[in-house]
Amino acid sequence: MAKLKIRNIGDVAVVTPHGYLMGGDETEELERVIDEQLAGGNRKLLIDLIETVHLNSNALGVVTQAHSRYQAAGGQVRLCHLTDRIENALVITRLSIVLEVDETEREAIENFRAATPAR
């Protein structure tokens, strides 16, 4: 069972799942949190996988759907702290060319800021 941590760094919502995302309640929880963030007006979502041991195709589907929905709303989803196993899954599924991936949370936040036009 995964547990999620949710926090904000400026206008970036950081969601940190814990444990295994295997398509059950834990994946539904991730999907619910993402839906709530988007519905609440968030347009910058960082999924920090530092505490995630494994995710399956259902969880990858949730992440991919989040990416599509955020993009359609003018937002962006980024991932960080991928394990080798998760990174390999993204490469095999070719999601590595679709999803934005950063090594660290700090790098992801900087990339969100760099993508935001100056006012």
pTM of the entire structure?
Answer: 0.92
Give the span between the Cα atoms of 2 and 18, in whole angstroms: 5
What average pLDDT score do residues 4-13 get? 96
Give the per-residue pLDDT at 69: 97
Name all domains of the chain by residue range, CATH numbers in brackets.
3-115 (3.30.750.24)
* φ, ψ (nearest 5 deg) of residue 28: -65, -35
Tell me, what's the pLDDT at 71?
Answer: 96
Task: Average the pLDDT over 56-70 and give the result.
Answer: 95
When pLDDT is averaged across residues 55-62 and rounded to a whole number, the result is 93
Q: Which residues contact 6 (CB under 8 A, 6 or more apart)?
A: 13, 14, 15, 16, 33, 37
Q: How many whole angstroms from its chain centre is CA 20?
A: 15
Q: What is the DSSP letter of 79?
A: E
AA identity, residue 99 = L
* Amino acid sitting at position 35: D
CB atoms within 10 A of CB 104: 12
pLDDT confidence of residue 23: 87
Mean per-residue pLDDT over the chain, rounded: 92
1 has pLDDT over 70? no
